[in-house]
Structure 1
Amino acid sequence: MKTPINRLDTAIKKLYIAFNNNTLHPECCKQCAVGNILDHSDAWKHFSDEHGSTTLNYVGRVNEAFGKRFNGYTPSELLFIEKTFLQACGYQLPLDFKNKKPENPTDKDVLFNGLQAVIELLCKLDNSPDVMDYTKLFENLKTKTCQPKLTHL
């Protein structure tokens, strides 16, 4: 029996591919974090009246009430993912031409900040350890001390 692919793994893979293929763009509903998770669909944008808001509108509430999931995520989870991505990229929310935004929204550092925040959130949503947490790599170094070998002459 083939096991279903985990939504976390699928979402991370899609975001990783988008980041590396330069198809991750915070201001495009089909290329943002959620747009990429939903296979370049912009249907999710109809769940809220403002881009970057986590308040579900009528369409969002109906979909949520019926238990509808989009690639494994509820409408409220999708809005929270998008909010997290935009904030980590440096946007003032809700997204509006008057509000603060990054000078270059497709700068790799800006996108990496957004990507890192979204992956951390996705891991929390699935009660999984943060795959972007690099501190574990250095824990062994903290516990092991370098002791130089002294030789007597």
Structure 2
Amino acid sequence: MKTSHRLDLAIQKLYTAFHSNALHPECCKQCAVGNILDNTDAWKHLSDNHGSLQLNYVGLVHQNFGRTFNGYSPSELLQIEATFLRGCGYSLPLGHNGTKPKNPRSKVVFFEGLSATVALLCALDGIDNIMDYSNLFESINDQPRNQLDDVRS
């Protein structure tokens, strides 16, 4: 499957963050977007609230000028972060009184958040979710419809 350069880089950065314990949903430098943007937090100025989908004035200016950050527009970055946070079990926008997972540093929580995030990243690029292996379990007349090698290519 052919993927875009921005998707390849984003997945590499999220993979590295996951396996090096460098994810933290509540930190603007270590969340999904923070990692995609090389552990910077400048993106937080695109919105007034962490996890919000609403661009503020600064975000709208960048969006209207067609500015991208590592290939993603300001509105896409907010979608990515909101998807990650929701996938991790947070209510949005992030706040002290909102719900959050019992163990926000759990690998299971991170995996759920990243699974939702990768699905969105693929959708933004108009490709099938690369983490969807459901076709492995499809069958015709009790025989596998696809072979494992067919799915990996």
TM-score normalised by the chain length of structure 1: 0.88
Corresponding position of 1:9: 8
Separation (CA, whole Å) in 2 of partners of 1:80 and 1:130 = 16
Matched, 1:143 2:144: no
Q: Which residue of 1 aligns with 2:60?
A: 61
Residue 137 (structure 1) shift: 2.0
The amino acid that maps onto 2:44 is K
**TM alignment of 1:65-144, pairs within 5 A:** 65-139=64-138, 142-143=139-140
CA shift, 1:143, in A, is: 2.1
Alpha-carbon deviation of 1:144? 5.5
Amino acid at match of 1:12: I
Equivalent residue pairs, number:
140
Q: Deviations over 1:32-70 (max 9, x none)?
A: 000000000101100000111010000000000111000
CA RMSD of aligned residues (A): 1.1
1:98 maps to amino acid: N
Displacement of 1:134 = 1.1
* 4+ long deviations beyond 4 Å: none
Measure the CA separation in 2 of the matches of 1:86 and 1:36. Answer: 14
CA distance in 1, matches of 2:127, 2:6: 12
- Quote the Cα distance in structure 2 between the aligned partners of 1:23 and 1:134: 26
TM-score by length of 2: 0.88
2:86 maps to a residue whose letter is: Q
Query: Relative to structure 2, which stretch is displaced further, 130-139 or 37-46?
Result: 130-139
Secondary structure of 1:83's match? helix
Aligned residue number for residue 20 of structure 2: 21
- The residue that corresponds to 1:149 in the other structure is none
Runs (5+) with no aligned partner, structure 2: 144-153
Change in 2 beyond 3 A, CA 1:24/1:144: farther
* Partner Cα distance (2:86, 2:54) in 1: 16
**How many Å apart are 1:145 and its aligned residue?**
2.7
Distance, in Å, in 1 between the alignment partners of 2:37 and 2:141 is 44
- Matched AA of 2:39: H
Q: Which ranges of structure 1 fall in alignment gaps of 5 or more residues?
A: 147-153
Q: Could you tell me how far apart the structure 2 residues matched to 1:59 and 1:35 are?
A: 18
Q: CA deviation at 1:105?
A: 0.8
Letter in 1 for 2:140: T
Q: Distance in 2 between matches of 1:130 and 1:99?
A: 30
